[in-house]
Structure 1
């Protein structure tokens, strides 16, 4: 039996209102249809601006599913930025039972609700599949006086608020935790960092390039080409080992900081999907991860394959909530 999370009273009215539209599309809501297939184009929601990790995953996965003929309908990427992802999540949550809406996700689906900045959390959705894992990259402009992660730590130890640090997620969310956790492990008072949130990694790196912030935190896969262009200097990455895409960049552990941070990436749907609908999408995304095109794509971004099916992904999300609640408390973000 596939894992289908509950619909909360907050969105129950919207879910009920959507049932007529869904039934008009031919989708069965009364039971589990083992032969279900989509009957109209599928919306793939990226809850951020273009250019960040969510947008990249949504467009890459959708394009490859279409190009390889794995999916039975067109996939339309819809960007719904704002509130660290909560705007996009609210949109999907308001369409409970609609099997033609999916969204890409990562740690903020757990972190933002824990910080009290979203009225819905991962339990209001249906896990489909975890696809890949990225890592955090800590970067500065190419002409920055900070030449290494140790330089950054030294500066922050003198005054944690002396540098503005941009991230593409809300306070207390993914990029904030990535930098606060690393700073805390390095002996910096992470609770006093000057974190500047943006709606996606693309906006954060644009702010860095424009001289509006001193440091940025982003998914390593998002800034690989920017690093190769010489416009930024990547001080460190949060992986266990150096990344093939950034071979000259040391890990945090190499920089003397005992901290790693995984940015897992996956796909979820609204609540109240049938087992047949979940099975359809789960099988398609599993097939996606086995294609040469997908392997080439994740290698390009330095992502690691970390596929989990629906049930396993749901269990993983529950575990992530418990683990990250402890981490947020440790670094003063909860």
Structure 2
């Protein structure tokens, strides 16, 4: 074979290889669901995960963004650990997603789950929410400082939340107490299986207050409500249905706490499925229906794609390890 022939072959080989690579990439991007997507909220109805799952599912359907339905499924227990164990056994399933937030980092660090974020596939971070402290409408506590003073005077008084000990709600109220001058480890935090259960116990008089996500509380506040908000962990007041709720900082407690929320997939979810969901959620965040829902719930868009979200989760694990260590809750 002559050198001229070799040169001609090499000239044609590159475009063919490039074409093959482009064809493979195109096929990866063309994946779409072939049946309904199971969208898991790892808690009972009424909590932050449930609110995210149902809001996302509704907006996607309302805007016609996907051909298949997103079916909301509640799997409560263990502050998320029961659902994570089930999902971990469904490796590679591209038709199963779950809502996530700081408990995916905190619960394993506290030793309450054998699975952590590294066992699953990051899909996208969607929003940032904030914590809010709620009391019954007829409570004697008028401000967040009233509640902190009572907790300091009587350590037996309890604050409930919808996540496990050492998890999101606990860390939020412990940090608040510390910023208010209390010993964070002295807070009598009572965990419930979800925000809905915590609210039931609040109204039953079994706990003094509830710490929960602002987004999941907004629908229960307002004129004639049986509950009242003492403060929110945002750096400034939230709009929508929470415009009248003062921040902790307004009440001279220099403390903020944000609750990121996103979506994860099964272990080893195919890359083409991840790419599909990344694009779907990015498109969803730009819709009018999502903007309206976010404004009402006090959510702030904070989109990250799969790679960015994964790196963010690694950073959160390092940060929360330090917090739990200070509280004496880090698994050794």
Given the two structures, how large is their TM-score scaled by the length of structure 2?
A: 0.88
C-alpha distance in 2 between matches for 1:95 and 1:215: 38
1:256-271 aligned at under 5 Å gives the runs 256-271=252-267
1:131-170 aligned at under 5 Å gives the runs 131-159=126-154, 161-170=155-164
Q: How far apart are residue 230 of structure 1 and its match? A: 2.8
Q: Does 1:215 align with 2:215?
A: no
**Aligned partner (choices 54, 62, 65) of residue 57 of structure 2:** 62
C-alpha distance in 1 between matches for 2:160 and 2:173: 10
Q: How far apart are residue 273 of structure 1 and its match? A: 1.5
**Aligned partner (choices 298, 302, 309) of residue 306 of structure 1:** 302
Helix, strand or coil at the partner of 2:251: coil
Counterpart for residue 101 of structure 1: 96
Which runs of 5 or more structure 1 residues have no equivalent in the other structure? 1-31
Helix, strand or coil at the partner of 2:293: helix
232-241 or 61-70: bigger deviation: 61-70
Counterpart for residue 321 of structure 1: 317
Helix, strand or coil at the partner of 1:33: helix
C-alpha distance in 1 between matches for 2:200 and 2:300: 26
Does the Cα contact within 8 Å between 1:181 and 1:331 map onto a contact in 2?
no
Counterpart for residue 193 of structure 1: 187
C-alpha distance in 1 between matches for 2:246 and 2:287: 31
Q: How far apart are residue 313 of structure 1 and its match? A: 0.7
C-alpha distance in 2 between matches for 1:167 and 1:225: 17
Q: How far apart are residue 233 of structure 1 and its match? A: 1.7
Q: Does 1:179 align with 2:176?
A: no
Q: Does 1:82 align with 2:77?
A: yes
Q: How far apart are residue 292 of structure 1 and its match? A: 0.5
Helix, strand or coil at the partner of 1:175: helix
**Structure with the largest fraction of helix:** 2
Q: How far apart are residue 157 of structure 1 and its match? A: 2.1
Counterpart for residue 330 of structure 1: 326
C-alpha distance in 1 between matches for 2:87 and 2:252: 42
Which is higher, the Rg of structure 1 or of structure 2?
A: 2
**Aligned partner (choices 276, 280, 298) of residue 280 of structure 1:** 276
C-alpha distance in 2 between matches for 1:59 and 1:209: 24
Helix, strand or coil at the partner of 1:116: coil
Q: How far apart are residue 294 of structure 1 and its match? A: 0.5
Tell me the alpha carbon deviations over residues 204-252 of structure 1, each in whole angstroms, 9 at most, x when there is no partner. 1111112111111011111123221431121110000011132222111
Given the two structures, how large is their TM-score scaled by the length of structure 1?
A: 0.88
Helix, strand or coil at the partner of 2:221: helix
Q: How far apart are residue 34 of structure 1 and its match? A: 2.9
C-alpha distance in 1 between matches for 2:253 and 2:277: 40
Q: How far apart are residue 72 of structure 1 and its match? A: 2.4
Does the Cα contact within 8 Å between 1:33 and 1:274 map onto a contact in 2?
no
Does the Cα contact within 8 Å between 1:138 and 1:234 map onto a contact in 2?
yes
